[in-house]
Amino acid sequence: MINSHTVLARLRQLVTLDEEGAENALPLCRLCLEEIQSRLKETADKDDPRIAQAAAGIAYYRTVIRETADSDGTTSFKAGDVTVTRTPAAMLEIAVNVRDEALLQAADLFEDCGFAFRQVDV
């Protein structure tokens, strides 16, 4: 059965979390799982692993947003002649791609709630 710990395990594949970070991320994982479960078709397999992956993708995206909001900008690391720079925009772009790919993989499990029929002109 998929639960918040399953989602946390998937999230830990996307981002490094120590024990305290994992404990803090568990409520977010629960919230994201509930969000995904609320969008499922009645006929969807509730134990499909794509559900956990989609919830983890959303949790990863929200974690990056929170980290970006808490940081003061660009993060750099230098070791000898090598410098690695991570900008908030680049981190957010990666998180959006991870989230969207996870949701796309599970799209056939979700109710279609993005359609609205408004009017036909003759």
Where are the domains positioned within the chain? 4-109
On the question of pLDDT at 117 being above 90, the answer is no
On the CB side of 29, CA atoms within 13 Å amount to: 21
Residues 6+ apart with CB under 8 A from 92: 64, 65, 68
Tokens of 9: 């395990």
Identify the band that residue 118 occupies on the pLDDT scale cut at 50, 70 and 90. confident
The 10s digit of each residue's pLDDT in 35-86 is 999 999 999 999 999 999 999 999 999 999 988 887 665 566 677 777 777 7
